[in-house]
Amino acid sequence: MSLKTITIGVLGLQGSFARHIAMLDKLGVQTIQIRYPEEIDNCDGLILPGGESTTISKLLDEMKFRDRIQKYNHPMFGTCAGAILLSNNSDNPHVKTLNRVPINTKRNAYGRQVESFIAPVELSFDKKPFNAVFIRAPKLRQLGKEVTALGTINGEIVLVQYENILLSTFHPELTDDQRIHSYFIKQLIRK
């Protein structure tokens, strides 16, 4: 499959979807801003962006996305709130997760004093650390044994892969560094 024939859907209900689309454009990958559930069937992969997980959770039900994403078997990438939504459960009853990755998430886990920060993430697949933007980021807890850690800051796991799903607690779309999106496309989509 060449990059030109790949189409990635970016869930465009709320949050940071436009920056994901811009980054995929730069990589030469076709994108669709997903507004309706049936649109994901035309995509080779799906990104769930960061934003506010309580809001996105509500919109998933209102817009009838839940079943389709639960059954979706192409690769997915959840960033920040998107990662919370793909996990097994979160600490907030207003966030109904999609249970696609055996992981629990603790929302806003870095506390109010440090709502956002930039930190170098050590990557398992590249020597050069990735300067990552964390915004009211969650922490990943109770990782299932099939979950592989791909990125850490000070020993805290912030990027994981489970089968064909990638989760990051940070926002890789908010920098100019394309390596995480490239990893998603090359390692997960082009199999």
Cβ atoms of 55 and 14 closer than 8 Å: yes
Size of the site for ligand GLN (CB under 6 A): 11
Which residue intervals of the chain are DSSP H helices? Answer: 17-26, 53-62, 66-71, 81-86, 179-183
DSSP-assigned letter for residue 27: T
Q: Give the residue, chosen from 69, 80, 158, 185, that forms a contact with ligand GLN under the rule CB under 6 A.
A: 80
136 binds ligand GLN per the rule CB under 6 A: yes
| Position 8, amino acid | I
Cβ proximity to ligand GLN: between 58 and 107 the closer is 107
135 binds ligand GLN per the rule CB under 6 A: yes
108 binds ligand GLN per the rule CB under 6 A: yes
80 catalytic? Reply is: yes
The β-bridge partners of 87 are: 101
Q: Give the residue, chosen from 39, 52, 91, 126, that forms a contact with ligand GLN under the rule CB under 6 A.
A: 52
29 binds ligand GLN per the rule CB under 6 A: no
CA–CA gap between residue 41 and residue 122 (Å, rounded): 34
Question: Could you tell me the maximum CA-CA distance found in the chain, to the nearest angstrom?
Answer: 46
53 binds ligand GLN per the rule CB under 6 A: yes
Per CB under 6 A, residues contacting ligand GLN are: 50-53, 80-81, 84, 107-108, 135-136
